[in-house]
Structure 1
């Protein structure tokens, strides 16, 4: 069973969450400017996307990362911002009104309570959003069981775990059929499980310089993991740390 603890608004470990940081900065922008301009297709306008790229400081999607492959940025070029926009409207914190995104009362209220906001957006983001839309190989399915994922990672990543070891733990050794170009199972595990955990601030990824392979990354729990999650394997982790 997955249980999230209620966090105080001044909980220090909340600073580890890029998703929460993106929400709070978006709220601050709306408060200052009155809203966010929308394109004809209802995406955030480029001036805000460029501002967000600089302000969010998103791991793997920094301003430098994004402009290295784009001359200008539209919302769809900044995947985390698209996710935040979707969450804001789906969770009814804001709405589109006369060509702008505006906060509604619920959004204004929760914007003042980071701990409560984290408790709303994180479970929904992890468990309700279909992260497979961002994978390059949607036809290669992986069995999604968040209770298993979180309880196993709770143990395996206590002192850091290689991506390749997590892949092996969940799905066994890769075989030739997994490599039309590269290990598609590892790619989907990263996109649908590990990256969402990183973006919510529960995991941190350290990737070797010039490496593009998540198999070579080390994944470690952040202080926010222990502050926010209550898991069945917690006693096992605690016993291991005492020995």
Structure 2
């Protein structure tokens, strides 16, 4: 069973969530500058995308990294921002009105409440969001969220490589650089956990997912109660 625990707004573990940090900065931007302008296709205008690239400082997608392959940034060039935009609309935290994005009353109630914000966005983003919408080969990973979280709860306590995650879940490890099982698991399970702040990924630029090391963050311990909690050694819990 997956149980989310309410995280207090002042819990320092929330600093581990890229999405909570980014949405909080988006709230502050709107408070200071007014509604965010939209293109005719309802994407955020470049002026905000450029601001977000600098301010969000997204893991593995810093401003410098984004501009190293783009002269200008549209929303589709900054994938996490697209996910945040769509999540805010889907949860009715924000809405489109007269060529602009603005907060709803529900969204206003979440301003300066990062713990409550985390509790609203995380279950939706993990379990309901379409992480395959731009995938060339939209394959579902073998398994389900209950299994994924309970196994990672034990295996990622002290860090586990992508290669070992592949072995734990699927028994054998592909010798090919493109491992469909692990790529699918990364796109639909590991990366969403990283972006919501429950997992941390340690990987040098140029390394494959197999070589990355994944660890649970303090936010995992603060926010989740799982069936395998009694299998995690108390001496090494944070």
TM-score band (shorter)? over 0.9
* Alpha-carbon shift at residue 68 of structure 1 (Å): 1.1
Instruction: Report the counterpart of residue 85 of structure 2 in structure 1.
Output: 85
* Alpha-carbon shift at residue 197 of structure 1 (Å): 0.6
Instruction: Report the counterpart of residue 161 of structure 1 in structure 2.
Output: 160
* Alpha-carbon shift at residue 202 of structure 1 (Å): 0.6
Partner Cα separation in structure 1 for residue 69 and residue 206 of structure 2 = 17
Instruction: Report the counterpart of residue 106 of structure 2 in structure 1.
Output: 106
Q: Match for 1:213 among 196, 208, 212?
A: 208
* Alpha-carbon shift at residue 152 of structure 1 (Å): 0.3
- Is this contact kept in 2: 1:157–1:220, CA < 8 A? yes
Task: Tell me how many residue pairs correspond in the alignment.
Answer: 237
Secondary structure of the equivalent of 2:232?
A: helix
Instruction: Report the counterpart of residue 198 of structure 1 in structure 2.
Output: 194
Partner Cα separation in structure 2 for residue 184 and residue 240 of structure 1 = 36
1:17-28 aligned within 5 A = 17-28=17-28
- Normalised by the length of structure 1, the TM-score is 0.93
Instruction: Report the counterpart of residue 41 of structure 1 in structure 2.
Output: 41
C-alpha spacing 1:171/1:132, structure 2 compared with 1 (3 Å): farther
- Is this contact kept in 2: 1:3–1:230, CA < 8 A? yes
Secondary structure of the equivalent of 1:42?
A: coil
* 1:230 maps onto 2:225 in alignment: yes
* Alpha-carbon shift at residue 184 of structure 1 (Å): 2.0
Partner Cα separation in structure 1 for residue 31 and residue 117 of structure 2 = 17
Partner Cα separation in structure 1 for residue 86 and residue 143 of structure 2 = 22
- Is this contact kept in 2: 1:137–1:188, CA < 8 A? no
- Is this contact kept in 1: 2:157–2:216, CA < 8 A? yes
Instruction: Report the counterpart of residue 150 of structure 1 in structure 2.
Output: 149
* Alpha-carbon shift at residue 182 of structure 1 (Å): 1.4
Instruction: Report the counterpart of residue 130 of structure 2 in structure 1.
Output: 130
Instruction: Report the counterpart of residue 65 of structure 2 in structure 1.
Output: 65
- Normalised by the length of structure 2, the TM-score is 0.95
